[in-house]
Amino acid sequence: MNNQSLPLALRFPLRGSQLIEASAGTGKTFTISALYLRLVLGHGSEQSGFGRELLPPQILVVTFTDAATKELRDRIRTRLAEAARFFRDEISAPDDLINELREQFEAEQWPACASRLDIAAQWMDEAAVSTIHSWCQRMLREHAFDSGSLFTQTLETDHSDLLGEVLRDYWRRFCYPMSGDALAWVRENWSGPAALLPRVRGLFGRDRSTNTQAPAELIEASLLERRAALAALKAPWAAWADELYTLCQDAVARKVVDGRKMQERFFKPWFEKLAAWAADQTQEALDLGTGFTRLTPDGVAEAWKSDPPSHPAFAAMAQLKAALDGLPKPDAAVLQHAA
């Protein structure tokens, strides 16, 4: 078989410094396992092979997390055992790659290959498969004289203290100089740098924002947008509150509504709150209780005995609570800046 027609994992050079670019879900573990099989079997030409057979204690595999380390060790052990059984003709080919790997050896070599794969599978408990940081710690410990480090060291994997220090510095740099609306918003929403930590953790590693504005500018711009959106929501409600109040009063007087669901003692406070909210440019919160559902098309249809009235305010009320909850907030942009 032409070398170029082989899968990458079977022709990839096992000597020198090499790089495979891969992202999530592209088969990294599968490829690493295949390279491991090749190293155990001494597979490859003078150009692509390592030059001699290796066993698990002689092969170093490093990854990022403890969970990934355990998974990788188990997957490699499974692949070694599968390949050993296939080289002995005990099972059919687990996949095309192992089948093509066996084809690279003469049939009389298969029993020896199977034996070596078995030994490697049984030796995986001592294999050098670890996280990057734990491997570095091990090397520092084993070569303490050469590295000038202590024989006993504690590996710090909890970065909360370090992150807390960074966020305190961020707070001093960006939040202390704030004034006006930006400062008022920060005081109201964040008690201090410690309040930022749990919120920025989830943003680490994401693409950085290209916005070059300082946090104070981001907050002020977002608050202006929020006020404009709130004013647009309020604009029709001063008139609508009066119109709906009159409409409901008339309906009660004409007895065209279900008295259990629509009474003046119910709806009068709703419209008073609506009118006050619409008149106050700074008030955001609006608590209508059941009014949020009763003053919608479905709520009106349920309360009227027949022929429920039509008014644009009913459709607007159905969306009002969600619209208030969805008003622009500075949080996302500022947290992205902090991260």
Closest CA to 36 of 74, 4, 2: 74
Determine whether the annotation assigns residue 278 to a binding site. no
Distance CA 199, CA 188 (A): 16
In degrees, rounded to 5, the angle at the alpha carbon of residue 19 between the alpha carbons of residues 82 and 121 is 20
Determine whether the annotation assigns residue 275 to a binding site. no
Determine whether the annotation assigns residue 23 to a binding site. yes
- Looking at the DSSP bridge assignments, the partners of residue 130 are 62
Number of neighbouring beta carbons within 10 Å of residue 300? 23
Contacts of 129 (CB under 8 A, 6+ apart): 61, 62, 63, 69, 72, 73, 76
Determine whether the annotation assigns residue 51 to a binding site. no
Determine whether the annotation assigns residue 29 to a binding site. yes
310 φ/ψ sector (left φ>0, alpha ψ -120 to 50, else beta): beta
Determine whether the annotation assigns residue 299 to a binding site. no
**C-beta of residue 3 within 8 angstroms of C-beta of residue 11:** yes
φ, ψ (nearest 5 deg) of residue 61 = -125, 125
59 φ/ψ sector (left φ>0, alpha ψ -120 to 50, else beta): beta
Query: To the nearest 10°, the Cα dihedral for 278, 284, 287, 292?
Result: 70
Give the annotated binding-site residues for ATP: 22-29
Give the annotated binding-site residues: 22-29
